[in-house]
Structure 1
Amino acid sequence: MLRRLAALAVCVVFLAAVPTGSIYVTTLPSGADVWVDGTYIGRSPLVLDALPAGRHTVGLAKPGWNAEQLDVSVVTGQTASSSTRLLRDKRSSGAGDGTIALHGMPYEAVWLDGAAANPGRDGTFSAPAGGHALIVRTAKGKITRLVTVWPQTRTDVVVQPDAAPVRPSIVAPADEYLPPSAVQVDGEKIVIRFGGHDLVGHLGSTTYRLDGRSAEYDAAPTLIGNRLYLPLVLLTEVSSSSSR
């Protein structure tokens, strides 16, 4: 009897529980005061949990910025995201400054909009709000970036060389460069013997063994239907009449 009563009590509590979710509030810049349904919560970014499912009003305010009021829908068991870019209050004096923080490679000199900048030991320096051209000189050369600085906000910039441009892979049918007798396909393994050259490759691998030495090419052997495709530069090399 007691067990039944306890189980019934648990069911009553479960049924009486209000379905809830949460809201994750972020702003740019951060540090805005946040109200939810008229109650002050704190400063962004923040997470407010155990909110009843349904629509809620989120208020945002920060000195020097326009206040915002948003409607956010909360779903049971889920976290709703509210991300807001605040607009500068035109009535406030001055645009304000932010900071730029450099990370990554060691640098020798820094310029912002053509003027020398002097980052501190932590890599940060003050900058006016707005868009800027940032130039960083490293041992590997100059790196140029376009950055946006927000008032009272730190903009993090990773200093690293530009990625090398990716060269397109050019492949061609092997039967247009080599006689069928020179090409052997054994499962995943490709063996080609022609003109004194000895080539071994595998489907899906860009590593080949050419004349006893390992070599890397820009494309792997590929079978399209019954035709074998290989990198054009490799076919040109193998189809030459004389061995290396």
Structure 2
Amino acid sequence: MSMRVLVTALALVLAVAPVIASSAHGSVYVSTLPPGASVWMDGNYLGNTPLFVDGLDAGRHFLTLTRSGWQPQSTAVDVVSGHVASVNAVLTANAPQPQEQSHAKGALTVRGAEGAKIFIDGVALTPPYDAQPENAGDHILLVQRGATRTTTSIRIYPDTTTTISLAPRSSSTTQMGSADMLAALVDYVPASDFTVSGDEIAIHHNGMELECTVGSRTYVLNGKPGVLSVAPAMVGGKPYLPMSLLQRISSQNKAATR
């Protein structure tokens, strides 16, 4: 009888052992803004964010997150058996290399602007729009004809007259109403809630995550791709985004504070 009890007890221990062993592991979900950061755990490369890692030994592990153009981040995460730990990191862009401020001048000529008002970086120009002096560099050009406004980014080169030829006004254009225009991101979102790395713009504001690229109309908002009416631009080192998108962000901000 005692032998039979011993065998039964041994079989029960062997059956329970795998359950105990499997419950001694946990998981970690790692995400970053912007995504695409390399994840290193305890010195081992695991992949790029967003990343789910399973089968980890319970206890404390050390993470290092790296991405080109962004400052690396290191943190510790405690893995609990049978649970999923979450690590969410907002990366900080590398400080731009100091550059000597340029005071070079250029000139701007706008052709085909009869009956239109021309603005450079929000400042109205005085007609005729011929060889008007401007600082060399990137600028936002706004053309207003009645209720119709169009916006584009231009580059004025030093010691050179840059000539912009406007498309002739058509009947179809006059019926479109006001076109979208670019506005400064910092006027709608605090500087602490967005980062700029090269041409990449990442916004993390009131639970909303948006990624877009200077010169490209495609964007991703909360994981969903979309197409902008106007491509973002950089003017004087500041990001400019379509007004319609910024107003959408602003309206979400007001709704969140109610």
TM-score bracket relative to the smaller structure: 0.3 to 0.5
The structure with the largest helix share of the pair is 2
TM-score of the superposed pair, with normalisation by structure 2: 0.41
TM-score, scaled to structure 1: 0.43
Indicate the structure (1 or 2) with the bigger Cα radius of gyration. Answer: 1
